[in-house]
Amino acid sequence: MPILAAEPSLFPDNLLEDYGDESFERRWWAIYTKSRQEKSLARQLLGMEVPFYLPLIPKTNLIRGRKFTSQIPLFGSYMFLFANEEERIKALTTERIVQLLPAPPGQEIAQDLQNIRALIKAGAPLTLESRLAVGRRVRVKTGALMGLEGVILSRRSEERLLVGVRFLQQGVSVLIQDFQVEPI
């Protein structure tokens, strides 16, 4: 039973499918928000029709013997903006932003965000990972995660696929079997 109705986490709905064209003076930005302001900022950006992505994952809490599920930001205090200069300034007027970090030009961050969204949609149990180490890149060749690219990690004798936002040096990992991946 959710505590609140699902919040918008992506605007427009096809943003990550159509991320590729930065020719319209739009670029990706990582937004560092004030503490616990990610969803409020997302609601405001939705009202202003400014393109954004806020990765949300379900979290189940036990309160007085009852289970409640809520949606929490995957990366605390971070969300992503795909904006031109006018939209960037609109976002800054919300007074919920501490810092805007410009992403390097190119498709890398958009591809990373698309991979993160695919993992969330797959419903896989995710583990937040920080400070990504350089490792061997692989592509998942079978199963629900087929086509995702990431890095293989070994943690507590388990093989995990790390899918990261390289720009932020953070990511998430999911358990994976070695037969499911192929080197890139």
Give mean pLDDT, residues 99-108: 89
- Residues 75-102 have a mean pLDDT of 95
If one compares 116 and 154, the residue with the highest pLDDT of the two is 116
Q: Which CATH architecture has domain 1-103?
A: 2-Layer Sandwich (3.30)
Q: Are 9 and 68 in contact (CB under 8 A)?
A: no
- pLDDT higher than threshold 70 for residue 3: no
What CATH architecture does domain 107-184 belong to?
Answer: Roll (2.30)
Residues whose CB falls within 8 Å of the CB of residue 61, separated by 6 or more in sequence, listed in order: 67, 68, 69, 70
Is residue 181 pLDDT above 90, yes or no?
A: no
The closest alpha carbon to 127, from 169, 61, 77, 74, belongs to 74
What's the 3-state SS for 109-149? Answer: HHHHHHHHHHHHHHCCCCEEEECCCCCCEEEECCCCCCCCE
**What does pTM read for this prediction?**
0.83
- DSSP H helices, the chain, are 38-48, 85-92, 108-122
Closest CA to 90 of 53, 56, 41: 41
**Would you place residue 134 in the very low, low, confident or very high pLDDT band (cuts 50, 70, 90)?**
low
Q: Where are the domains of the chain?
A: 1-103, 107-184
pLDDT at 68: 87
Compute the average pLDDT of residues 99-125. 91
The reply to whether 107-184 shares the fold of 1-103 is no
| 137 or 98, higher pLDDT | 98
Asked whether 156 and 173 are in contact (CB, 8 A), the reply is no
pLDDT at 4 over 70: no
